[in-house]
Homo-oligomer: A and B are copies of this chain.
Amino acid sequence: MSAHPRLSLNQATIKYADLATALRVTAAAGIASIGLWREPVAEVGLAAAQRLVAASGLRVSSLCRGGFFTATDPDLRRAALAENRRAIAETATLAAAGAAGSAPVLVLVAGGLPDGDRDLPGARERARDAVGALVDDAVAAGVTLAIEPMHPIYAADRGVISTLGQALDVAEQFPAATVGVVVDTFHVWWDPQLAEQLKRAGAGGRIAGYQVCDWITPLPADALLARGMMGDGHIDFAAITAAVSDAGYTGDIEVEIFNQGIWDADPAAVAARTARCFAAHVGA
């Protein structure tokens, strides 16, 4: 049985599966695309990962993730840029190994405030500058850098780019083929400007990825794991998907869920459940 043709299973949803397992259960669930993470790729090495991806027949919808750009220390900053250059190269390699329709998209998370630092505008400026510093590398590799605005719950410790509008303010300083945004329902569903910013993103050709998962309450004790399967929470996926589609996005739709209960379940069962919930709720 085939899942929705645009569904992509982001590896974070089956975090404890290694790359080979992730590729296998994704394909077995009839899902045609996968969103990869750098850590499980590094476990097997890039060359082996490339072979595994090619053999799977799956598309690659993105690589997660680059970013973490906000250090003030010059050495840490240089190290972050070097790490992102490696991530750009990996993105190009893995997308080339994927089936036709794969997307050379590197998801970028800005990073939070350095320890003891309360200068939020300064951290945001450093994130912007880092994107700028990577643009030539991305152009050379044919990779799109996709800035992911993160829910304001993470502004202090994970991502200082908090809204779609703010991500577009950065992206629009660079060519659209090279710098775009990722729209993740978990991060943006609450935004009163969502409809208008999706239109803006679409008009500029800036939507480089669309990810879905639900906002559940009460929030789990670990706010990083506060994501739910579609249908388990409060998000109106059909409305947001319609707005993303109206904005012209036709690419893969990743399901990316950080949730301890889902991580603890059998990955094959999670892949199958993801396909069912996607069909029932996402409205693609």
Contacts and interface: CB of A to CB of B under 8 A. Distances in A.
Interface of A: 113, 118-120, 124, 151-153, 155-157, 162-163, 165-166, 169, 189-193, 215, 217-219, 221-223, 233-236
7 contacts: A120-B190, A151-B153, A152-B190, A156-B190, A218-B222, A219-B223, A221-B221
B166 A192 contact: yes
What is the oligomeric copy number?
A: 2
Contacts of A190: 120, 152, 155-156, 162
A194 to B, nearest CB: 9
Contacts of A235: 118
A193 B196 CA distance: 15
A124 B236 CA distance: 14
B153 A153 contact: yes
A165 to B, nearest CB: 7
Contact of A152 (B119, B151, B156, B169): B151
Contacts of A189: 120, 155
Contact of A157 (B113, B165, B217): B217
A234 B156 contact: yes
Nearest to A151: B152
A233 B115 CA distance: 10
Nearest to A163: B192
A151 B236 CA distance: 19
Nearest to A236: B118
Contacts of A155: 189-190, 215
Contacts of A118: 234-236
Nearest to A124: B192
A24 B125 CA distance: 46
A136 to B, nearest CB: 26
Contacts of A191: 152, 162-163
Given A118-B235, A234-B113, A219 B153 contact: yes
A113 B233 CA distance: 11
A196 to B, nearest CB: 12
Nearest to A192: B166
A126 to B, nearest CB: 15
Contact of A165 (B153, B162, B192, B219): B192
A157 B190 CA distance: 12
Contacts of A217: 156-157
Given A162-B191, A192-B162, A223-B219, A153 B156 contact: no
